[in-house]
């Protein structure tokens, strides 16, 4: 699987760990940065990840900031992205199973440990979308997004 990954300074260390784990699992990883713990702005690294997923240059994306909230908000501004902030094993499974998320957001300052974050990411990657009634709901979100994109372009 092709996975784009990016983080701000608060998420840099965890991003590096997740990147190594993804590569060890055999995934092709595209790193949008950042490259150190020097202060930066998370949108500068989240938008490129989300755009790669939206443009089908990556199958999924992983974004990390201090809380995960800013990264998830920024990713969800990109048309076609359904980013989910994962805070435990259940949310890792449910964001994929019920919401068909294509971007995983994590908060480096909020995960109990890097090992937990790795386990949640693996769960997220391995969980299929359940479809059925959940597909109806995701389709409503996509329909809304398309409709409002047309209205904004007028």
Catalytic residues: 65, 98
Give the angle 122-123-126 at the CA atoms, nearest 5°. Answer: 85
Q: Are 82 and 102 in contact (CB under 8 A)?
A: yes
Residues 153 and 134: their CA atoms lie apart, in Å, by 29
HEC string of 41-110 equals CCHHHHHHHHHHHHCCCCCEEEEEECCCHHHHHHHHCCCCCCEEECCCHHHHHHHHHCCCCCEEEEECCC
């Amino acid at each position: 699987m092709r996975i784009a990954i990016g983080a701000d300074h608060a998420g840099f260390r965890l991003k590096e760990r997740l990147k190594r784990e993804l590569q060890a699992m055999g995934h092709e990883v595209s790193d949008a940065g950042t490259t150190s713990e020097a202060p930066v702005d998370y949108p500068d690294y989240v938008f490129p990840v989300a755009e790669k997923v939206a443009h089908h240059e990556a199958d999924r994306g992983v974004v990390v900031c201090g809380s995960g909230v800013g990264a998830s908000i920024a990713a969800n501004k990109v048309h076609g992205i359904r980013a989910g902030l994962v805070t435990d094993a259940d949310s890792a499974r449910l964001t994929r199973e019920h919401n068909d998320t294509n971007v995983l957001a994590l908060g480096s300052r909020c995960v109990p440990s890097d090992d937990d974050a790795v386990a949640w990411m693996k769960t997220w990657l391995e969980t299929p979308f359940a479809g059925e009634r959940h597909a109806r709901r995701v389709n409503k979100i996509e329909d809304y997004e398309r409709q409002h994109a047309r209205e904004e372009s007028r």
